[in-house]
Chains A and B, each alone.
Chain A
Amino acid sequence: MAIEARNVTKRFGDFVALDDVSISVESGSLTGLLGPSGSGKSTLLRVIAGLETPDAGAVFISGKEATALAPQKRDVGFVFQHYAPFTHMTVWDNIAFGLTIRRRPKDEVRERVAELIELVQLTGLGTRYPSQLSGGQRQRMALARALAAEPEVLLLDEPFGALDARVRAELREWLLRLHDEMHVTTIFVTHDQEEALEVADNVVVMNAGRVEQVAPPRELYDEPANAFVMGFVGPVNRIGAAWVRPHDVEISHEPNGAAREAQVERIVRLGFEVRVDLVRDDGQRLHVQLTRHEADMLELAAGDIVYVRLRVERTFSESGEPTHPVPA
């Protein structure tokens, strides 16, 4: 295990940010900490980095207990949500910081910084100041700075949070490639379930200071451990006690078997995906996701009467635990 948190509790006044949290992260993996704001995910990352001291519990990095270790001795790279650039230093000096304070030889620093600047695609921008960079460039500079001293662990706090959608998508892909090349154990915090499912090879879902589920993206989506995870990792329809994903609703023009009558209220075409809003004969609203092909075959129009069947529905007990899935 590269990183382990054991029974970590952290309070801020009366607020319990982390409530007996335990996670372990495999060496070389890319792990996503996913949860709504206030769920404790950033606090957990800061505890691992040593920027917060837990009230109880222990942190291990590469098998060594690090709970009482100062952040500068933990050998972690940390990228802050707003990048925390050293505003009075050039891009070059920002990236070199971790090396110059370790008094590495000048030639080595020059070589390493040049290499990193190329890696993060900031070639030619070394003499600029952070204020002269775009958000995406600042983000990549912060990454290069964190990677400079070759940390064992890379921690990213909402790394793409403050960027616009297109830059986010580019950077996600770029982070994946970077991780494939460098294989540094990486944990990133996000509140965006799509980001977690796309980038991470293991996802830790957090809510109200607790870990709800730890699983690879596919398992998380297909076998959510409880109602919270089911609702958080993707859109759902709630029909009484049953939870159904919008793509698990089948639409047809023929009444067959368990299908029920519904009226098409609205159709939204988003390129490949088509979203259909329906109202069932019992007044129940349903959101349905179809592929463009499926939608074209059905030739749907607003006001049409169709028949809907739920392919997979899930039910959860009062406490949120799954009762067995029902193939309808």
Chain B
Amino acid sequence: MIVRFGSLAYLGAILIAPVALIFWRAFEHGLHPFWLAISNPNAVHALKLTLEITAVVVPLNTLFGILCAVAIVRHRLPGMGLVNALVDLPLALSPVVVGLALYLLYGRGGWFGDLPFRVLFALPSMVLATTFVSLPFVVREVVPVLREIGTQQEEAAATLGSSAFTTFRRITLPAIRWAVAYGVVLTTARSLGEFGAVSIVSGGIAGRTQTLTQYVQASYENFDQTGAYAASVLLAALAVTTLLLMTVVKRGDRST
């Protein structure tokens, strides 16, 4: 009883109150100001940019995550222990540091400073930064499941005449599908909410290289509180949607 009440109070104070306050402030003066705030061209552009980045990053990290998990669990190659440890780096490293590193790498005088197309203050660097910070999720979800299912089903498929690729497609992939889905949801949530690394490499030019999180910050700093709250609500709504998807995924997971 005490445990339950305590944990609910904790969640209430730490999670629910701030988010509820955002919703309250955004709709304080009714729907109309909210609608005006989010239909502002810069806000719309920021939303589109955030979704674009996510649409590139999530498939990339999903594909890489699955390959990486298979390599870590199934192929006892030298160096795999190091890969396994490196995968967690984005969780340990502050996004600001990641942003700064990319800035040094692609900025004037950096190793990749003279590429024929624009990286810094443009979409490529924002995608790179977001890919970096959301890299571990699929790997971390898939690795334990791959370990748990073991190699017997894959060996059985091989003795039945199945090629390595067919075995992966028909046996391994279906067995890890819920872990992949769960990892995709987490990657999506992380990509939508990314701020630190992107804010260093993007330049944050309104209507051009400003993501939704940066739009919130810029609006707030310009005393456009309604705009900031409205964009925050939008972000929160996206987050809630991904969380709902996660619940659906969890339910599917239990049914097998």
Q: Which residues of B contact A72 (CB under 8 A)?
A: 158-163
The CA-CA distance from A204 to B170 in the complex, in Å, is 37
Is the Cβ of A88 less than 8 Å from the Cβ of B159?
Answer: no
A70: contacting residue among B156, B158, B160, B175, CB under 8 A: B158
Is the Cβ of A98 less than 8 Å from the Cβ of B160?
Answer: yes
Is the Cβ of A86 less than 8 Å from the Cβ of B171?
Answer: yes
Is the Cβ of A102 less than 8 Å from the Cβ of B161?
Answer: yes
**A146 proximal to B (CB < 8 A):** yes
**B157 proximal to A (CB < 8 A):** yes
Q: Which residues of B contact A73 (CB under 8 A)?
A: 161
Known contacts A51-B158, A101-B160, A101-B170; A80/B152 CB under 8 A = yes
Dominant secondary structure of chain B at its interface with chain A: helix
Cβ-closest chain A residue relative to B171: A86
Cβ-closest chain A residue relative to B153: A84
Known contacts A72-B162, A72-B163; A97/B157 CB under 8 A = yes
Q: Which residues of B contact A102 (CB under 8 A)?
A: 161
Q: Which residues of B contact A50 (CB under 8 A)?
A: 158-159
Is the Cβ of A51 less than 8 Å from the Cβ of B163?
Answer: no
Q: Which residues of A contact B166 (CB under 8 A)?
A: 101
The CA-CA distance from A88 to B175 in the complex, in Å, is 7
Q: Which residues of B contact A82 (CB under 8 A)?
A: 152
Greatest chain A CB density within 10 A among B156, B160, B174 is at B160
Known contacts A86-B171, A88-B174; A146/B152 CB under 8 A = no
Size of the A side of the interface (Cβ < 8 Å), in residues, is 28
Dominant secondary structure of chain A at its interface with chain B: loop
B158: contacting residue among A71, A75, A87, A88, CB under 8 A: A71
**A145 proximal to B (CB < 8 A):** yes
Q: Which residues of B contact A98 (CB under 8 A)?
A: 160-161
Known contacts A86-B171, A88-B175, A101-B170; A77/B159 CB under 8 A = yes
**A149 proximal to B (CB < 8 A):** yes
**B28 proximal to A (CB < 8 A):** no
**B155 proximal to A (CB < 8 A):** yes
Q: Which residues of A contact B153 (CB under 8 A)?
A: 84-87
A117-159 contacts to B (CB < 8 Å)? 142, 145-146, 148-149
The CA-CA distance from A101 to B174 in the complex, in Å, is 16
**A76 proximal to B (CB < 8 A):** yes
The CA-CA distance from A145 to B171 in the complex, in Å, is 15
Jot down 21 A-B pairs with beta carbons below 8 A, ordered by A.
A49-B159, A51-B155, A51-B158, A70-B158, A71-B159, A72-B160, A72-B161, A72-B162, A77-B159, A78-B155, A78-B156, A78-B159, A86-B157, A88-B174, A97-B157, A98-B161, A101-B160, A101-B162, A101-B163, A102-B161, A142-B156
